[in-house]
A and B are shown apart, each in its own frame.
Chain A
Amino acid sequence: MRRRDPLARKGLLRRLPEAWRQPLAVVGAVLAVAWLVIALAAPVLAPHDPLAQDLPRLAPPGPDHWFGTDQLGRDILSRVMYGARVSIPLTLLLVALSVLIGGLLGACAGYFGRWADETIMRVADLVFAFPTVILAMVVAAALGPSLANAVLAVLVVAWPSYARVTRGLVLGVREREFVLSGRLLGFSAWRSLRVDVLPNVTGPVLVLATLDIGTALLLLSGLSFLGLGAKPPSPEWGAMVASGVEVFDSWWVATFPGLAILTVVLAFNFLGDTLRDALDPRTARAIKERAL
């Protein structure tokens, strides 16, 4: 479909179904749905209690325990399944919050301009001046190691990219006639933003968000891996990989939770990548150009 005449493309809805037919998107969607089902049905699907330490220790994968057991005698398959209940909702919440916060701040910066713009974007610049893990690590360490604080830390480094993109898109439509006429009709700034500006911004921001789910999960599990996120008994994937470091000759302890992270991230990257191509080959460039 990429070869089609761009003028023939109309409306978001007509193009989406075609995007879903791309193999990459199908694989992504299947993986994502599978993980959502696992997360929802973990209590039914999991063969064991993820926290019970009553199995033989460090048993290799076999018919009894498909993914083996860890050094405390817990069933790794069950822990990986329950891990989906920890990581996936938190990641989605995290991205939703960064879209909300970043989007709102970016919209204010773009719409009101002047000091609001300067203040917000300079703060965003400062966050960008740090490599993400380093900054997130400093924040998480300072707040104290806990899963909630890890989420907060990732949030701190995640919002600016949305602020940038949203600001750019808002700048692009702010002076357009339909927005100005709205203002002339007496719309408040807030209403004008909500009614006229917002619908023009959502598409590209959602694509960015889909692509960001993977990055957010990687960062969150990375913090847990470093011991700055989930606390020990919790079946969080990053923390499980970390516990595999201590017994790295029992390869299965770290391998399977890592594969879980990989497949979830891959699912959303496949989806996001196809979505971006589908929505408009030039969306990406448009985001880039307007955002900066």
Chain B
Amino acid sequence: MSDTTGPPPSGGAGPSSTRKEPPPSGGAGPLATRKIRRRGAHPLARFLVRRVLLAVLMAWGITLVTFVLTNLVPGDPVAANLGQRALGDPAIVAQWRAEHGLDQPLWRQYLLHLQGLLQGDLGTSQQSHRPVSQDLAEFVPATLELAGAAILVSLVLGVAFGVVAALRRDRLSDHALRVLSLIGISVPTFWLALMAFYLFFYRLQLTPGSGRVDAALGLAPAVTGMQTVDALLAGRWDIFSSAVAHLVTPALVLALYTIGLLTRFTRSAVLEVLGQDYVRAARAKGLPGRVVLFRYVLRSALVPIITVAGLAFGSLLSGTVLVEAIFAWPGIGQYAYKSATTLDLPAVMGVGLVVGVVYLVINLVVDVLYGVIDPRVRLH
């Protein structure tokens, strides 16, 4: 688990790992720059290639971890998937094991698994008897829609709150925001989801209940699998507004934790920049406050904020497992829960893999943004 309000432990292919290397000090700086330039490729391109290679390596590590975890632990998939009567018949058990490759030595199982992965084959779910990749393709877009909405909300609100807190440091609004953000990171998500469902849907009937759109409207023709986007593409405004209405509560519930997280980090990042000489100089020469804030302060504060946002996306993906169960959101979180409790190994591996890779990609994007925002990063 990552610490909640502390410094960000950088994610796997940690974006921060690049930043922490000290920038070339003093006179060595320009020289080092020239050296790297002379070696050919554009520094940003070299930086990207290195990052992508690292991500691929991590992805391979993820396949190894999901595989080892779901195989070396003492759960017995045979007992979990076959009924009592079938278990009594050794022939059926043996056939089932052979069918799922469980009679092979472990390393061969892994190689088979890896070979399948490269061909886009994640195995067959032992519960739904459908290819795991097909199951996931159905569930991933719903989760991405939910988590995407939540990260957007958290970025907007978290950064805004953090800036306000930093600018009004030690005043009442700063203290209030501190307490609120600490509450935000302390609320159990699953409980908040239930409370919101009870209050807004059951009691006040302000929001539609579970699911993604009103059943009467039917789903928009699937293009991306995200209802809001698909409805827009199809020009169906009724579906769009229904989808948004369904999305609001779970997304807000999911976002609360990351809003708190981002508020705290934005505050300290902005405070750090506010004390810098160049900000004071900008102020002293009479630039309007808005210009100083957006061009001078926020631009450099953005670097740590983006890192945390990348990590926050991980906690959002985690949160979906808890939120989707309550709102009956047909996403990967619910699928993960169902397959984990039934020890559906291929499904569990698939979920772990996909979520891990999504997380990797997000962190890769963060890394690239880093390189774009802060030129110093590319040199390392």
Q: Is B134 an interface residue (CB 8 A)?
A: no
Contact with A along B6-19 (1 / 0, CB 8 A): 11111111101101
Q: Which residues of B contact A129 (CB under 8 A)?
A: 11-13, 58, 61-62, 65, 356, 359-360
Q: Is B237 an interface residue (CB 8 A)?
A: no
Q: Is A84 an interface residue (CB 8 A)?
A: no
Interface members, chain A 252-276 (any B CB < 8 Å): 254-255, 257-258, 261-262, 265-266, 269-270, 272-273, 276
Q: Is A214 an interface residue (CB 8 A)?
A: yes
Contact with A along B299-330 (1 / 0, CB 8 A): 00000000000000011011101100110000
Distance A292 CA – B10 CA, assembled complex (angstroms)? 8
Q: Is B56 an interface residue (CB 8 A)?
A: no
Question: What's the tally of chain A residues with a CB closer than 8 Å to chain B?
Answer: 74
Q: Is B186 an interface residue (CB 8 A)?
A: yes
Q: Which of B7, B352, B360 contacts A291 (CB 8 A)?
A: B7
Range for the number of chain B residues in contact with chain A: 35 or more
Q: Which residues of A contact B202 (CB under 8 A)?
A: 248-249
Distance A44 CA – B292 CA, assembled complex (angstroms)? 61
| Contact between chains at B5 and A273 (CB < 8 Å) | yes
Identity of the chain B residue whose Cβ is nearest the Cβ of A224 in the assembled complex: B190
| Contact between chains at A131 and B188 (CB < 8 Å) | no
CB distance from A60 to the nearest CB of B (A): 14
Main secondary structure of the interface of A (DSSP, over half): helix
Interface members, chain A 38-61 (any B CB < 8 Å): none
Q: Which of A127, A141, A245, A265 contacts B341 (CB 8 A)?
A: A141
Given contacts A135-B352, A211-B4, contact A265 B73 (CB under 8 A): no
A-B contact pairs, 25 of them (CB 8 A): A2-B170, A24-B179, A122-B61, A125-B12, A125-B14, A125-B61, A126-B58, A134-B321, A141-B340, A141-B343, A144-B75, A160-B9, A161-B3, A211-B5, A212-B1, A212-B3, A222-B322, A238-B190, A248-B198, A251-B198, A254-B191, A258-B191, A261-B191, A273-B178, A288-B8
Q: Which residues of B contact A (CB under 8 A)?
A: 1-14, 16-17, 19-20, 58, 61-62, 64-66, 69-70, 73-75, 170, 178-179, 182-183, 185-192, 194-195, 197-198, 202, 268, 314-315, 317-319, 321-322, 325-326, 336-337, 340-341, 343, 348, 351-352, 355-356, 359-360
Other than the given A134-B336, A141-B75, 17 more pairs (CB < 8 A) read A24-B178, A130-B352, A132-B314, A133-B321, A142-B348, A144-B74, A165-B9, A211-B5, A219-B1, A228-B341, A238-B188, A258-B188, A265-B188, A266-B183, A276-B5, A288-B8, A292-B16
Q: Which residues of A contact B (CB under 8 A)?
A: 2-3, 24, 122, 125-135, 137-145, 154, 157-158, 160-161, 164-165, 207-208, 211-212, 214-216, 218-219, 221-222, 225-228, 238, 241-242, 244-245, 248-249, 251, 254-255, 257-258, 261-262, 265-266, 269-270, 272-273, 276, 284-285, 287-289, 291-292
